[in-house]
Structure 1
Amino acid sequence: MRPSRKQLIKNLAFYLGGDQPFVSWLERIRSVFGAFLGLLLVITTAKFLGELGGTDEWLMASLGASALLVFALPQSPMAQPWAVIAGNTLSALAGISIFRFVNDPLLAMPLAASLSILGMFALRCLHPPAAAVALIVVLSQINHYQYAFFPVMVDSILLILAGTIYSNLTGKPYPNRPN
């Protein structure tokens, strides 16, 4: 039996985002504006702290992906403070360690990302953008452990603080409260 045109369109739509839940325009604007304000705060503060401390690295590149989770999906377990802060910091530590001990980048990159995922499973802090932190560390050839604490951990904390304030001011409880 041949599927109807309507069924083919429905199947195709599923693979082109048809499985995404509807989000009102008000919620979209709330999320986008929050991400903008939160990232602006984090970037400005991190740049100031970097200049104050004489540090060249003051921003982690995956922060935008973390902001999406914190501001657009604040109820997700992967957007909770422990997941964001510990996931990003642990992944930076894993990436730095692998970079220091594995000389082949083709092996170091997947090893750093996969070990960061293993660590996040172990510490119950799954945060998808954090796996990118491990890759970024290897690609950027960062070999000093200070990077895991500044900018990675500090940026993560600042993002969580901004997300907490913004979400609660706009009627979205964050972080999740235990039942």
Structure 2
Amino acid sequence: MNRYHRAIFSGAGAFIAISMLCFASDLQSQWLFIMAPFGASAVLVFGVPASPLAQPRNVIFGHLLTAFIGLLFVQFIGVSPMSLGCATALAVSGMLVTETTHPPAGANPLLIMMTGQTWSFLFTPVLVGAISIVVIGKVMQQINARIERKPLS
């Protein structure tokens, strides 16, 4: 697959994943399934799926860990310039120590703290959304592998 086909295919995967999460949010008004960092996750998962930063463990646990840190700060420490910086620093260090580095997840503490999210945010959109992106990414990789194996007639 040449770079143009790969770019279109990657864009199609991102379109499917993000649109599905947005559509699910619209259908179920009590739950949110989308957040801005997922746009950056889509770049990695669909654009460079072989990257260590795009692996399922990194996507899911990177988002979970950093969201958890942001929620801890919202609930127990509060939001200030210093706490925003501290939470982000802990998120970066935490991902590196646990080997779950996923750069888009670095935005989670900021997003969560600046919008005052509650613990339910950890489940949806964070967990449900990250798993959805990973699953769609794996499906797209399988489709891509089949396309590349078939000779063009």
Aligned position for 2:37: 62
**Superposed, which structure 2 residues align to 1:75-86 within 5 Å?**
75-86=50-61
What amino acid sits opposite 2:71 in the alignment?
Answer: I
Q: What letter matches 1:152 in structure 2?
A: V
Superposed displacement of residue 35, structure 1 = 1.0
Count of residue correspondences: 145
Which residue matches 1:125? 100
Structure 1 residues 162 and 46: CA distance shift in structure 2, 3 A: farther
Given that 2:11 and 2:46 are in contact with CA atoms closer than 8 Å, whether structure 1 keeps it comes out as yes
The worse-fitting range, judged by mean Cα deviation, of 28-37 and 81-90 is 28-37
Amino acid at match of 2:48: L
Structure (1 or 2) with the greater helix fraction: 2
Q: TM-score, normalised by structure 1?
A: 0.75
Relative contact order, higher structure (CA 8 A, sep 6+): 2
Q: Distance in 1 between matches of 2:52 and 2:5?
A: 23
The residue identity in structure 2 corresponding to 1:82 is: R
Map 1:100-111 onto structure 2 (within 5 A). Answer: 100-111=75-86
The RMSD of aligned alpha carbons is: 1.7
The share of aligned pairs that are identical, in percent, is: 30
Q: Please tell me the residue identity of whatever aligns with 1:145.
A: W
Paired residue for 1:136, among 111, 129, 143?
A: 111
- Which residue of structure 2 aligns with residue 157 of structure 1? 131
Q: Deviations over 1:63-119 (max 9, x none)?
A: 100000000000001100010000001111101111223334201211111111121
CA positional deviation for 1:159: 0.5
Please say if residues 113 and 131 of structure 1, whose CA atoms lie closer than 8 Å, have aligned partners that are also in contact: yes
Quick one: structure 1 residues 104 and 162, their matched pair in 2 at CA, closer, same or farther if it must change by over 3 Å?
closer
CA distance in 2, matches of 1:103, 1:64: 27
Q: Structure 2: which 5+ residue stretches go unaligned?
A: 147-153
Within 2, Cα distance between the matches of 1:120 and 1:102?
21
Unpaired runs of 5+ in structure 1? Answer: 1-22, 173-179
